[in-house]
Chains A and B, each alone.
Chain A
Amino acid sequence: NAGVTQTPKFRVLKTGQSMTLLCAQDMNHEYMYWYRQDPGMGLRLIHYSVGEGTTAKGEVPDGYNVSRLKKQNFLLGLESAAPSQTSVYFCASSPLQGGWHGETQYFGPGTRLLVL
């Protein structure tokens, strides 16, 4: 069981470039999430998905798009990167019950993104 994996681990972009971050989970979880972590800010939810083919906006969705074409994968896209998107991005997943029976969210290792 690999759990939650993220690709790439680190990336440097120039302003205006685009890229896609890939998240994969092998736990058959229904729910998947993308967060960003900035110094002193904790983690903030960007987008989330409650199942294959569904996505929804979180707290800070501007400048990002997502897709969940397969249950195990959740992609985060930056169409035109900006320096304000320099951050560490974490993907997470959780089972359908979503915590009511004690389930937690499982986090990936993170992707460090630097936008110059």
Chain B
Amino acid sequence: ELKVEQNPLFLSMQEGKNYTIYCNYSTTSDRLYWYRQDPGKSLESLFVLLSNGAVKQEGRLMASLDTKARLSTLHITAAVHDLSATYFCAVGGGADGLTFGKGTHLIIQP
């Protein structure tokens, strides 16, 4: 059974600081997804990582994938308030759907 664990589950940080969210998964997978969810809203796709060593960046967010360690990271650089949201990683895709982590609730304070 595929399991996906995120940590931390809750993170409060100050604007301007850097931080990393970790996503571990239990079985081999070459596809890892990061989504953002704002309160009461749907999920917005951030990154799709397809291979070992993949790194993608969008603004202040950078995601990486290490398939050998079964680990993905989402790094936040110089955080701003607008990045406050819940971030989910998910593994799988294709016909069988996605297995999600429980999400990281991120609050960025001035």
Contact = CB atoms under 8 A, between A and B. Distances in A.
Q: How large is the interface on B (under 10, 10 to 19, 20 to 34, 35 or more residues)?
A: 20 to 34
Nearest to A98: B94
Interface stretch (B13-21, B59-67, B95-103): B95-103
B43 A58 contact: no
A104 interface: yes
Q: What DSSP secondary structure best describes chain A's contact surface?
A: loop
Interface residues of A, number: 28
Interface in B3-26: 4, 9
Interface in A102-116: 102-110
Interface of B: 4, 9, 31, 33, 35, 41-43, 45, 48, 50, 88, 90, 93-103
Interface of A: 31, 33, 35, 40-45, 48, 50, 58-59, 90, 94, 97-100, 102-110
In order of increasing CB-CB distance, the 8 nearest A-B pairs are A98-B94, A99-B93, A42-B100, A104-B45, A45-B97, A107-B43, A43-B100, A42-B102
